[in-house]
Each structure stands twice: as C-alpha cells, then as structure tokens.
Amino acid sequence: MSRFAAWLLLIGIVVIARFATTRQQTEIVYAAVACVWLIIFFLGMKALLIRKQVRGQIHNPRLFALAARPQEEWLGLVLAIVGVLILAFGGFTIAGTRQDWSALGGILMFIAWYLIWRGAYAIWMNDALHYISLFGGYRQVGLEDIGSARVIVGLHPSRPTMRLEVYPVNDEDPIVINRAVFKRHDMDSVLKWINTKLREGTEATK
C-alpha cells in the first residue's frame, strides 16, 4: 500500500508540474524533496530509537543481525542534514562569480537516503522474533505464536522481491522480512530457529 501511495503521489506531482510555469515547477520539486527528506529523516531517527529501546530490554539474544553497521545509519542522518543545507544555501557568489552547489547537495541526500534505508534494518530473536525496517516500522511475534513461514522470491507491489513471510497464528498480516539486505548465514539462523519451533509445535499437537 505504501509503494502504491508513493507512485500515486509521484504521478500526481509529474502531472501538476507538466502544466505549471517554470517557477512553479521549481517550487514543486523543492517541496517534494523537502517532504521526502522529512519523512525519511523522521523514520530513520525513529528506527534508531526503537532499536536502542528494544535491544536494551533483550539480554543475550540468540541472534542479533543488522543489514549495515550502526555507524552507516548515523552517517546517513548527518549527510541528510548536510545535503539539505547545501541544497538550500548552495547558491552564493564568490569574487563576483556565481557558485551553485545544489547538485552536490542532491547527491549527498540520495546517498544519505540509501544509508538510512539500509541501516534501519535489524532482526533479532530471543523468545520472540523482532524485526525493524525503515518503512515497515517495528514488528514482533512470539515464537510460540508463529503459525507458518515461507520463503518467497517473486515480484510484489509492496513487498521485497526476496522475502521471508512470517504468519502469526491470530493475525493475517505477516511480518515481511527483506532477505536481500541481511547476510545469508543470519537468515539461515532465523529460518532454522523458526522451523525448529514449528516442528516442535506440530509434534506437540499430535
């Protein structure tokens, strides 16, 4: 749903910009960039705070895996601030020569968005499976409450192409884990742990 809304918004901006004046087009582009920057920066900070809070409550987890080093997400947040400042104040005059660094600011912002997006991913297990992503937020399910899980490789309008879908017993909305961003041995550990729990649950019901 979030991807569909994003595409709809993008199409709307393109259509509006098509019939706008040059000045209005520039204002629309800057407004769109500002909105995207605020959303990603806010979600990145939120993911960091949630990860710190939840991890502080979990002692000796069986697995704690990050898609990237924590420093990369912090670097992304810093670059996002630097990029938006350069984009906003990158036009100035030195010794009578007009300088425009807005392109550099735009490049830094795109790099920052990638680092924030990748750095937000985290997964760990103790007596529950915990998962954080930038756009999906924080999800958790007790291992005894997992009804089924499946590995999928295929296109979906709002889910990663390579994903692990974990279905809670009493909830139709699965936890969708992006397999592509984590190391293979970390995902193997997750699958092994879930399969063990599912086998134990099946044997207990016999």
Are 28 and 20 spatial neighbours (Cβ–Cβ below 8 Å)? yes
Residue 133 lies in a domain: yes
- Please enumerate in sequence order all residues whose Cβ is within 8 A of that of 195, keeping only pairs 6 or more positions apart, or say none: 149
Residue 176: pLDDT band with limits 50, 70, 90:
very high
Query: How many domains is the chain built from?
Result: 1
Residue 7 lies in a domain: yes
3-state helix vs strand vs coil in the chain, percent to 5: 60, 25, 20
The contacts found for 126-129 with CB under 8 angstroms, 24 or more apart, are 126/58, 126/59, 126/60, 126/61, 126/62, 129/166, 129/175, 129/190, 129/194
Residue 156: pLDDT band with limits 50, 70, 90:
confident
What is the tens place of the pLDDT at every residue in 55-87?
777 777 788 888 988 888 899 999 999 988 887
- Mean pLDDT value across the chain: 81
Residue 196 lies in a domain: yes
Residue 27 has which token pair?
């204002």
Instruction: State residue 95's pLDDT score.
Output: 55
- The type of residue at 157 is P
Read off the pLDDT of each residue in 137-149 and give the average, rounded to a whole number: 88
Residues in the chain: 206
Domain that holds residue 158: 2-65+122-205
